[in-house]
Amino acid sequence: MHKRIVLAISIIVVLTLSMAGLSQNVSARPLAATAPSLGAANSFSVLGFAAVTNTNTTNLSGDLGVWSGTSITGLESIIVGGAVHQTDPVAQQAQADASAADLNLTGQANSGGSLGALDSLVLAPGVYDLGAGSLGGGVLTLDGEGVYIFRATSDLTTAGSVSLINGAAACDVFWHVATQANLVSGSFVGTIIAGTGIVFGTGVSLDGRALAIGGPVTMDTNTITGPSCMRPAPTTPTETPAATSETTEATATLLPAVAGLPSTGGGPIRNDGFPWSLVLLSGISAIALFNSIRAMRRTNQSNQ
C-alpha cells in the first residue's frame, strides 16, 4: 500500500512540473542586424586600395587615403575636410579594419531575404542579400531606426536615390560589394565596402563612405559627406523627488539586477500573461498530496 501511495505522489509531482514548463510560452526574438566596428576606417570618406583618381572638383567631409597603392591622382582638385593619408600607417590600419568590418557584414545571418532590383522597395532594418544588386532610376526607401546591411555577391550598380524615413540614418546603412560598386548617377547613402573598386559617375553624391579593400576609387565632381546620423531629440526627463535611503534600499531588494542578457536578438521572451494553468495545477497537486498523506496515516493507524 505504501508503495502505491509513493508512486501516486511521484506521478503527480512529475505531471505538475511538466505542465508547468508547457504553460509558459517561449518565443525567440529575431536576430537584428548589427553595425560592424570600422576602427581606423571610421574617419575616412574615401579609402582606396590600389589608387585614388579624381577629375574636377570633389568635396570630402572626412579623410582621404590609399594603401597599399601609392597614387592619388588629381589631389589638388579634391577638397578634403579631414586629413590625407597616402600610403602611411593610418591608411594601412584603416584598410585592415575595413576588411575586418567586411567580414563582419558577410558573417551576419540573413534576416530580410533575397532581393533583386531595389527600385520602389520600402524596407525595414535587417540583413538583405542582393546577388547582383541594382538600383535603377527609382527610389529605395529605408523605413525605421536600425541597422541595414545589403550584400551584393558581384557588382552593385546604382542610378537612383535612397530615401530615409522614420528614424533611418545613413550611418546605419552598410553595403558589402564582392566586386565593384558603380555609382552611375543620382544620390546614395551608407558605407560601401567593395572588393575590386568603387567608381563614381559625374556629379554623384554619397552620404556615407567609399572604402575599397581591393582596386581603386575613381571620382568625378562628387560630394561625399557624413555619413549623417540624425537622431530624434532627447525628451526632457520629468523631475522626480530625490530617493531616500529607505526607498533605495527597498528598490534594490525588490528589483534585483539581471546580467548577461543578449543585446540583440536570440534571447527567449516569456509570455507576459499570468500563468493561471500553473496555479490551477499546483492547487490540484496540493490537494492530491494532502489526500495521499491522509490515506497514508489511516493505513498506518489500521496496521497498528
More confident: 131 or 239: 131
Q: Do the Cβ atoms of 12 and 285 come closer than 8 Å? A: yes
Quick check: 144 and 122 in contact, CB under 8 A?
Answer: no
Report the distance separating Cα 240 and Cα 186, nearest Å: 50
Higher pLDDT: 40 or 24? It is: 40
- Is the pLDDT reported for residue 177 higher than 50? yes
Q: Which of 206, 235, 207 is CA-nearest to residue 219?
A: 206
Average pLDDT rounded to a whole number, residues 252-264? 38
Question: What is the reported pLDDT for 133?
Answer: 84
- Among 185, 222, 225, 181, smallest CA distance to 58 is for 222
The pLDDT tens digits for 47-73 are: 999 999 999 999 999 999 999 999 999
Q: Measured between alpha carbons, how far is 47 from 63 in angstroms, rounded to an integer?
A: 8
| Alpha carbon distance 296, 2 (integer Å) | 7
Of 32, 34, 36, 33, nearest to 209 by C-alpha is 36
Q: Region 75-92: what's the mean pLDDT?
A: 98
Grid cell in block for residue 87: 600610403
**286 in helix, strand or coil?**
helix
Q: Residue 223 above 60 pLDDT?
A: yes
Give residue-wise pLDDT tens across range 2-34: 555 544 545 444 344 444 443 444 334 456 899
The answer to whether 176 touches 152, Cβ cutoff 8 Å, is yes
CA–CA dist 107, 194 (Å, integer): 16
pLDDT in tens, 153-167: 999 999 999 999 999
CB neighbours of residue 217 within 10 Å = 29
Residue 81 and residue 61 in contact, taking contact as beta carbons nearer than 8 Å = yes
Is 201 exposed, middle or buried (CB count within 10 Å of its CB: 0-12, 13-18, 19+)? middle
